Amino acid sequence: MESDDNTPLTFRLPGLGVRKASAEGPPVTATPKKKQKMFDSYPDHSTEEPTEKIRGELDSVKKEINLLSQKKSEAIKCLQDAQTLITILRRDKENALKRANQAGHAKVKLQDEVTNLKADLDKLKTDLIVKGVEVVTAVESFKNSKEFADIKQEWDDLLRNELNEAHKEMCNLRKEKQDAINKVRKLEDEVVKLNKERREVEDKMVELRKEKQNAVNRTIQLKLEVAKLHKEKQNVNDKSSQVEQQMVKFKADIKKLLQL
């Protein structure tokens, strides 16, 4: 296992030399001379059985330490992945908010355009109706006037051509009236078309509202996921603390073994 500064932990045992707590290569063993010198002062324990027992226990401890080191590395990698995911979620949230703002501006602009078109259409329709009424009133007034009756009576034969011209003028007026009616009908068709466009705009606004709601829901989901990630991060920290506590306990156990 490695310490926080990536330095391998080492253990020094009397008569056994320096041993590294890692899986790289065989452990360094003491020379027979030092080993013999140590056991000279303890004649009752001159056999190699206690040493082999200690070595076996140390090998077991080393294996557990290596396992804990692997678990710690996995925990650190999980924490880094969680931090990367949090960064991505924050970026997605900012993009969703930008799209929602753009949709709101587009909605206001479309509403203004529709309002202006409706106002222009109402004004044009009113002007055409007034003009048509004036034409019809003028024609009816002229037909019912005494002047018209006198002219017709006096010039019935002599001024037939002029009456024909007057008739042509009446036809022209009727044509203008019909043109005005056709224009009104065309405008009504345009009104129908504008109403259709307005409904399409309203449908588009409904879609934009749905997109906005989806963005809000996505933001809420991202917040929940971020909270979940914070909780997982806390669990990783707790697990790392437990590993460190176990490391301290293992070191204490090794010291006890060295004191045997």
Residue 113 lies in a domain: yes
Residue 108 lies in a domain: yes
Residue-number span of the structural domain to which 191 is assigned: 10-258
pTM over 0.75: no
DSSP state of 54: H
pLDDT in tens, 123-153: 878 887 887 788 778 777 877 877 777 767 7
**CATH number of domain containing 160:** 1.10.287
DSSP state of 31: -
Q: What is the pLDDT of residue 204?
A: 93
Q: Are 212 and 100 in contact (CB under 8 A)?
A: yes
pLDDT in tens, 22-57: 444 444 444 444 444 444 444 444 444 568 888 888
pLDDT in tens, 48-107: 456 888 888 888 888 888 888 888 888 888 888 888 988 898 888 888 888 878 877 777
Q: Are 39 and 45 in contact (CB under 8 A)?
A: yes
Residue 101 lies in a domain: yes
Residue 159 lies in a domain: yes
Residue 4 lies in a domain: no
Q: What is the pLDDT of residue 246?
A: 86
Residue 2 lies in a domain: no
What is the residue type of 17? G
Q: How many domains does the chain have?
A: 1
Cβ neighbors of 89 (< 8 A, separation 6 or more) are 222, 225, 226
Residue 5 lies in a domain: no
Residue 26 lies in a domain: yes
**Conformation bin of residue 6: beta by default, left when phi > 0, alpha when psi is -120 to 50:** left
